[in-house]
Structure 1
């Protein structure tokens, strides 16, 4: 019956030179679902495989999302594993892990999430050896470093979502205070995606005009208080959200999509993703966030951001905190 509805045209096959964009999301909790939804509505992949340990929930979520595909640009969405996408997967997004508890720091999640990652990565290496791995689970910097060490992938192809969301929150709150569009604010949060994150006030600017042109010490007290409040709200945003609704999801889903688009479209975007440090600011052998150029090869370049003395010390301290935590882990 159905074969009579659409008659195939022998000359209408997709040219072999056009390769579909393929992705996998491992872990379909609240963050994984937010990523999947955001990626679908922004038409990022031609084929998207969702993987989760809970088979019934996985099938239900895929069914629910699939029923909305007719409202969107078409995506071949299905449940499965990394084995189903084949060796030409572009990006493997890992959101798997246990949820952050109220009042729990990201670093305290490490022991609970690390064992899960070791199992996941065995299959990623086997079935998707040429993919870019995008780590979203927390503590993201530690898990990005672990992913790099376990997989043996080039550091350019192991990326953490890092402080992309923190930087977005930073710009958003500055924009609210100034009464302008957040896209006109240029400001970064660097270091750990966690309690030791560092605000780079020295280069923060709006339309080329620095927010702190003459140094922090030369700001009036009320100005210092306003900026301190902005960073406090950035630093504690996740804790505040978790206290109220139990988890964060939507904003990290959008941040993940932004990174994916930069990779798939080779945008040469500067994003504060987490990646391997090998000498910048005297920091070695750790993953954390600084501005990096991202394209289809992953991390292409690192921006040699000029930091003042205090910011550089804070970044180095952030790196040492992450190193101290990782020293306690046995790969």
Structure 2
């Protein structure tokens, strides 16, 4: 197996490489390309030396690649580019992030389209993930490109539910769809708790939601985000985390990573873990349903945009959308988020 990690010297890219080895997805018979730009060559060489020192018997072949044209892999993880600053006093808007990373998305997507073998699968980690998926899908074909945001948000959603109920996460089935960031769409109607009958699940669902409706979720998340930002700017991170812990599970999914990022710890370990787990699913050889940002062309709910939805995936890409039985408010919210993403993509295209 040949895997390329673009942005290997970044916090998340580095973690992806290490976790690929620790979780046994690559070994001595495999090859991992560490992709960076020429100024990062020395750091990449140091990274190779460190990894070989740590995992000599288990390490794959490690290649350093400094040119997009030289990428050669079955699966490519894109984790390069600008990230949001951790200083809340110097915030960066999503629009500025999109403008900063758009050229990098285009450069690598065009190079892979011209020089690749035509069957690469690309997992976009960098933000805005919807923009990255849009650009790579345009150049490589939409079935071969995934954004990992919805997968990570879904894992977080299941973990929050499982933790509150005292269950293993594997017993929880629920999806967090929509846009990675402020456009999350928790699909409580998709909740299944293995070992519980429908009546018991309904009771637990009501308990978990604490009266927060799907229609009220977007405004509540926006208001809570403002409150958490104010606490962070006041230097009271402890109170920010304490308050988040008192909120319903779906709000914790949206606010927890926000506070973690601005704490200075960032979310590199969790992001890499979700990315590697997504890789494991894609490479398993079996068709599996998972949440991912993909470029839709009307396959579900008439959505014609890049958005997080449940898709059936295999080793050659995503095959089809796996529809969920959404309630009316979830349906309306997901469609509204889709329209919002479409507007943003048009604005970012016009600003290029």
Alignment partner of 2:17 out of 30, 36, 41: 36
1:79 matched to 2:64? The reply is yes
Decide whether the 8 Å contact of 2:303 with 2:335 is kept in 1.
no
Match of 1:27 in 2: 7
Separation (CA, whole Å) in 1 of partners of 2:204 and 2:332: 16
Pairs within 5 Å for 1:126-275: 126-128=114-116, 129-149=118-138, 151=139, 153-207=140-194, 209-210=197-198, 213=202, 219=206, 223-224=210-211, 229-275=248-294
C-alpha deviation, 1:281, in angstroms? 4.3
Normalised by the size of structure 1, how large is the TM-score? Answer: 0.84
Give the whole-Å Cα distance in 1 for the aligned partners of 2:79 and 2:169. 27
Deviations 1:264-284, CA, capped at 9 Å, x for gaps: 222322110111112244333
**CA 1:254–1:105: 2 relative to 1, 3 Å:** farther
Which of 30, 41, 50 in structure 2 is aligned with 1:55?
41
Q: 1:312 matched to which residue of 2?
A: 331
1:211-253 CA-partner distances (Å, limit 9, x unpaired)? 763898xx47983369962111101122111111252111111
**What's the CA shift string for 1:87-139, capped at 9, x where partnerless?**
xx211111111111245465552111111212222221223232111111011
Query: Quick one: distance in 2 between partners of 1:220 and 1:37?
Result: 39
Q: 1:47 to 1:201 in 2, by over 3 A?
A: same
Q: Secondary structure at the match of 1:284?
A: coil
Q: Provide the C-alpha distance between the structure 2 equivalents of 1:84 and 1:97, rounded to a whole number of angstroms.
A: 19
Residue 83 of structure 1 deviates from its aligned partner by: 4.5
**RMSD, aligned α-carbons:** 2.4
Cα separation, 1, equivalents of 2:150 and 2:209: 27
In the TM superposition, residue 140 of structure 1 has moved relative to its aligned partner by: 0.5
Pair 1:247–1:215, CA change in 2 (3 A)? closer
Higher helix share: 2
Aligned-partner Cα distance in 1 for 2:207–2:252:
20
Partner of residue 109 from structure 1, selected from 87, 97, 108: 97
Match of 1:124 among 112, 115, 134: 112
The CA deviation string for residues 164-201 of structure 1, in whole angstroms up to 9 with x for no partner, is 11111111111111011111111110011111110011
Cα 1:25/1:174, change in 2 over 3 Å: same
Contact 1:100 1:247 in 2 (8 A): no
| TM-score relative to the length of structure 2 | 0.79
Q: 1:301-320 CA deviation, whole Å, 9 max, x = no partner? A: 21011101000111011111
Which residue does the alignment assign to 2:216? none
Q: Pick closer, same or farther for the CA change 1:83–1:116 going to 2, 3 Å.
A: closer
- Aligned length, in residue pairs: 304
Change (3 A) 1:227 1:155: farther
Judge conservation of contact 1:261–1:267 (CA < 8 Å) in 2.
Answer: no
CA spacing shift, 1:199–1:105, aligned 2, 3 Å: farther
Q: Which runs of 5+ in 1 are unaligned?
A: 1-20
**CA distance 1:80–1:123, change in 2 (3 Å):** same
2:303 matched to 1:293?
no
